Amino acid sequence: MVLTRSTKELYEEYTSHMKKIADVRHAAAVLQWDEETYLPPKGASFRGQQMATLSEIAHEWSIDPKLGDLMTELKGRGDLDEPGGKNISLSLEDYTRQKKFTPAFIRLLSETTSRCFHTWIKARKDNSFTIFRDDLDKMIQLKKQEAEMAGYEQHPYNALLDQYERGCTVTLLDNVFNLVREPLKDLLHRIQARPSIDDSFLHRTYPKQKQWDFGMEVIRHLGFDFEAGRQDISEHPFTTSFNKFDVRITTRIDEQDFSNMAWSCIHETGHALYEQGLPDQYYGLPLGEYASLSIHESQSRLWENNVGRSLDWWRHWYPILLTYFPGQLEGVSVEQFYQGINKVKASLIRTEADEVSYHFHVMIRYELEKSLIEGSLSVNDIPSYWNQRYADYLGVRVPDDKQGCLQDVHWSHGSLGYFPTYSLGSFYAAQLFATAGEQAPSIQSAVQQGDTAPLLHWLREHVHQHGRRYTSEELCRHATGQTLDIQYFLHYLLDKYKKIYKF
Amino acid sequence: MVLTRSTKELYEEYTSHMKKIADVRHAAAVLQWDEETYLPPKGASFRGQQMATLSEIAHEWSIDPKLGDLMTELKGRGDLDEPGGKNISLSLEDYTRQKKFTPAFIRLLSETTSRCFHTWIKARKDNSFTIFRDDLDKMIQLKKQEAEMAGYEQHPYNALLDQYERGCTVTLLDNVFNLVREPLKDLLHRIQARPSIDDSFLHRTYPKQKQWDFGMEVIRHLGFDFEAGRQDISEHPFTTSFNKFDVRITTRIDEQDFSNMAWSCIHETGHALYEQGLPDQYYGLPLGEYASLSIHESQSRLWENNVGRSLDWWRHWYPILLTYFPGQLEGVSVEQFYQGINKVKASLIRTEADEVSYHFHVMIRYELEKSLIEGSLSVNDIPSYWNQRYADYLGVRVPDDKQGCLQDVHWSHGSLGYFPTYSLGSFYAAQLFATAGEQAPSIQSAVQQGDTAPLLHWLREHVHQHGRRYTSEELCRHATGQTLDIQYFLHYLLDKYKKIYKF
């Protein structure tokens, strides 16, 4: 059948199949978005079932042998145009990877995930790792099995890393973290030796509606297209996309903590600007998808930190902020405000960490996961390992599991190998931001006027438009002329905090 | 394969298949709800595609021959319990009906619908039936074909009616409408001979937020469970349900027209109370579905009119309304308010019609559709037929097509045979409401105290809990002891309007 048909026909069948998978996946994403924003409480149980059914359909279609045959034939023919060839080659990689797992394994993983998530909720509620231990152990065993099924070179953890970040390995991450660990420790110590910064003004009462209005004004000015997206409130901020013309972000508002909303808005806007900049002609195909998790995170971090925590940008925005909160910020200069929002404080919770200490949180999880997967650490030892590392790296005492090894949802979802992409995101962000400034000095001067359009334009051209054409490292080389160079990040941090903490 | 398995196993396979179809259908409904409430404007094109994909899946699954074999075997065995047997028998009816249509016909119908809808939008915008004519003609031809494929006795229109209302026929509707036509004409003339009622106070300025708050208070008191549903704003009010624990209604607010929001809230709440009262153990199965469109409409109309436009109910609610709008309603007594909200005025637009003239709008569409399907009227003649009937029945001159035969979306959707269920809804509502009051006189006295819980309880027991077990006529007999008796409706109207218009 396949052999007698033209390449054009076969390619159209492939794109049509892929678009339908995307339709179903995005429908599931709409249901997920709704669950986290507007779902009435009693609706949750049937909603879970409805999403599971959609996921099943998408999974079945993505491992349909007819799709495999089609792609193999197309690849073999070798007469597709360049984007077509790239799409087929990436889709075939995904397909081949998926096919390595038996349906029985997928089902087991899905059941374990569901159970693990509920046990984690309970363990956190009761503040006891012991409750989570056995199910987590089963999950780790399954993840080891997954690594064997997927195949790997050198280290089983590579198989898991590769899921989230094509080509990412233990070797690469060890190198990167070895390069940052000591300089960051040193920076942290130098900061800790200086007087603490006063950020109490961030904890005065900031009324909800005013915070929301300010956030919306910022988002709009950063270039978020409200004709092709929206913002809502949810318990945990997130970005989701149903296609580049419907990208949704959420935020949360704490009246006693201005930071909570402000930088979550900017962070999620960074993710959203990437999604709104992906090429729509490749909807459902690899070239229409984001490059990798670390590149996605580089976009959120770049806007949140390199822009949204810079003095340049606030010189424009602070006077505007003052019109929203004249009382709360009375007597606070833009310099004091800038110092306050960049206060460094080694603490227990990753998601609340500053730009310096954040990466120790990630390193601890990376080292821990690697040891669990290679078998040098057992699940029983997680709390003591965790608490020891927090003492070593950050000098903080972990008072209980809830504020310790139970704080993140990731393991309960089976997401092992995910955390490193958070740090890689910051590292890529620094390199991309510095390069943009070097290539087009006008970008920096525009930011000082509050105009980030030239920066967005640069990112659209050098990052967004390429979809999944390149791996993270290829994209980095393409955009900056070299692969990841950690010195950009270290230089950025050192330069910034030297000035803030005056050493 | 099927033959060697136990009835229990086969029935479980059937329910599992049906539940998955329901999951996909409800997922499509979530996407539809989102489209009408929160979708950013540019998101519409991909959204259409995503919903189409889900509908395709649900349709394919619902005509899967394996499902047919399974149900045929189960029916043949005859050893299911009563609810199981009923589910199988109704599902097999649906399946058999669906199988009568070739995939090519379904595709053609879907394409025609899509084109027809867009042409209708354009025709309305340009206020010209001519633009719509050719596509509508194609739709009518397809509907005739559909009737032939579905099969019918006596009249081809019966095949279309049966889709929305099992067992509904031209004979039944002719009987019913023949019984109401003259009495309603007579009533209308008697009302028109009386002085007009002043309802100008309904058109003072009613601020949006206050209207919303009042609407929410009413909805809550009527028994809508906000833990299992929500209300939002949309252009056209509607009710949608993703399962009985997630039922959503929408409303719209016009600051210059209090009626617009108030009775749409109550109407949609009536629909929603029905959905929230369906048995959840039959999710995805016929016994978990609503009985018919007319019974659904009977629930919305009962709450909107028999309760929500009654003097009894407003005696309780009017003082509360006054606390929301003391200025707007200054000097308006509850009796004047009651008269104002029940003002009868023959007019052009069905959705804005009062309880008396409404049914002429439906009759006109019914008579027109019947003639089109039997071929005694051609599409070209619709505007002149329409305008003549509006002159005859309502004594109004139709100034243009937009306010005439282009006003409703239904034909562009291919929904021929749908309109009669609107009138049947009112007729059943009157009979159910009267019977409830006869069976439990305390219901009426409770309503006077603003307590509608006993009425809801009666409807839950006599209507909601039965799902799709009975046809409309069977349900009516079960709940009221007799099949539809139009005298209940006529008596209700006559009694009410005699008092209001004092004749």
* Tens-place pLDDT, residues B135-187: 999 999 999 999 999 999 999 999 999 999 999 999 999 999 999 999 999 99
Contact state of B30 with A34 under an 8 Å Cβ cutoff? yes
Task: Provide the pLDDT confidence category of residue B224 given band limits of 50, 70 and 90.
Answer: very high
CB-facing half-sphere around the CA of B23: CA atoms within 13 A:
24
A355 as an active site residue: the answer is no
The model's pLDDT over A410-433, given as tens digits with 9 standing for 90+, comes to: 999 999 999 999 999 999 999 999
Between CA B248 and CA B26 the distance in angstroms is: 12
Mean pLDDT of A279-305: 97
CB-facing half-sphere around the CA of A457: CA atoms within 13 A:
12
Residue A219: strand, helix, or coil: helix
CB distance from A154 to chain B under 8 Å? no
Which residues, including other chains, have CB under 8 Å from residue A467's CB and lie 6 or more apart? A278, A279, A282, A286, A287, A288, A289, A290, A291
Would you say residue A1 has pLDDT above 60? no
Write the residue in A27, A38, A42 that is nearest to B54 by C-beta. Answer: A27
Residue B427 CA: distances (Å) to CA of B91, B408, B431, B434: 28, 22, 7, 11
Pair B492, B434: CB distance under 8 Å:
yes
Contact state of A227 with B41 under an 8 Å Cβ cutoff? yes
pLDDT for B111:
86
Mean pLDDT of A169-188: 97
pLDDT for B48:
86
Write the residue in A31, A53, A228 that is nearest to B40 by C-beta. Answer: A228
Pair A391, A360: CB distance under 8 Å:
no
Instruction: Pick the residue of B19, B38, B46 with the most A CBs within 10 A to test the interface with A by mutation.
Output: B46
Return mean pLDDT, chain B.
96
Task: Please name every residue paired with A232 in a beta bridge, in sequence order, or none if there are none.
Answer: A250
Stated as kind and residue range, the H or E segment containing B239 is: strand B239-243
Mean pLDDT of A244-260: 96
- Closest residue in chain A to residue B56, using alpha carbons only: A20
Find, among A308, A271, A273, the residue nearest to A293 by Cα. A271
Alpha helix positions (H), A39-81: 44-62, 65-77
Pairing between strand A229-233 and A246-251? parallel
Task: Provide the pLDDT confidence category of residue B2 given band limits of 50, 70 and 90.
Answer: low
pLDDT for A399:
96
Between CA A169 and CA A156 the distance in angstroms is: 10
With pLDDT > 90 as the criterion, what percentage of chain B qualifies?
A: 93
Write the residue in B31, B226, B228 that is nearest to A27 by C-beta. Answer: B31
Would you say residue B263 has pLDDT above 70? yes
Q: What are phi and psi of B248, to 5 degrees?
A: -120, 135
Mean pLDDT of A180-186: 97
pLDDT for A488:
98
Give me the catalytic one of B146, B165, B268, B289.
B268
What count of other Cβ atoms lies within 10 Å of the Cβ of residue A279? 17
Between CA B382 and CA B377 the distance in angstroms is: 8
List b or e across A77-114, with b for residues whose CB sees 16 or more CB atoms inside 10 angstroms: eeebeebbbbbbebbbeebebeeebeeeeeeebeebbe
Pairing between strand A246-251 and B246-251? unpaired
pLDDT, greater one: A355 or A448:
A355
pLDDT for B104:
87
Q: Residue A60 carries which side chain, given as an amino acid letter?
A: E
CB distance from B473 to chain A under 8 Å? no
Give me the residue label for tokens 């409409």: B297
Task: Provide the pLDDT confidence category of residue B102 given band limits of 50, 70 and 90.
Answer: confident
CB distance from A41 to chain B under 8 Å? yes
Alpha helix positions (H), A127-257: 129-150, 156-164, 170-192, 208-222
Give me the residue label for tokens 């986290």: A36
Q: Residue B21 carries which side chain, given as an amino acid letter?
A: I
Q: What are phi and psi of A415, to 5 degrees?
A: -85, 75
CB distance from B47 to chain A under 8 Å? yes
Contact state of B23 with A53 under an 8 Å Cβ cutoff? yes
Contact state of A31 with B30 under an 8 Å Cβ cutoff? yes
What count of other Cβ atoms lies within 10 Å of the Cβ of residue A481? 12
Write the residue in A38, A54, A227 that is nearest to B42 by C-beta. Answer: A227
Would you say residue B107 has pLDDT above 90? no
Model confidence, pTM: 0.93
Q: What part of A 218-277 touches B (C-beta under 8 Å)?
A: 225-230, 232, 242-243, 245-246
Find, among A181, A156, A158, A215, the residue nearest to A364 by Cα. A181
Task: Provide the pLDDT confidence category of residue A104 given band limits of 50, 70 and 90.
Answer: confident
Give me the residue label for tokens 């007799």: B482
CB distance from B155 to chain A under 8 Å? no
> Chain A: nearest CA to B464, how far in angstroms?
19
A82-99 and A7-37 helices, crossing angle to 10°? 60
Q: Residue B102 carries which side chain, given as an amino acid letter?
A: T
- Closest residue in chain A to residue B61, using alpha carbons only: A57
Mean pLDDT of A102-112: 88
CB distance from B209 to chain A under 8 Å? no
Q: What part of B 93-152 touches A (C-beta under 8 Å)?
A: none
Task: Provide the pLDDT confidence category of residue A278 given band limits of 50, 70 and 90.
Answer: very high
Would you say residue B1 has pLDDT above 70? no
CB distance from A42 to chain B under 8 Å? yes
Write the residue in B24, B46, B226 that is nearest to A246 by C-beta. Answer: B46
> Chain A: nearest CA to B227, how far in angstroms?
5
Which residues, including other chains, have CB under 8 Å from residue A110's CB and lie 6 or more apart? A52
Task: Provide the pLDDT confidence category of residue B333 given band limits of 50, 70 and 90.
Answer: very high
CB distance from B216 to chain A under 8 Å? no
pLDDT for B4:
82
Mean pLDDT of B82-105: 94
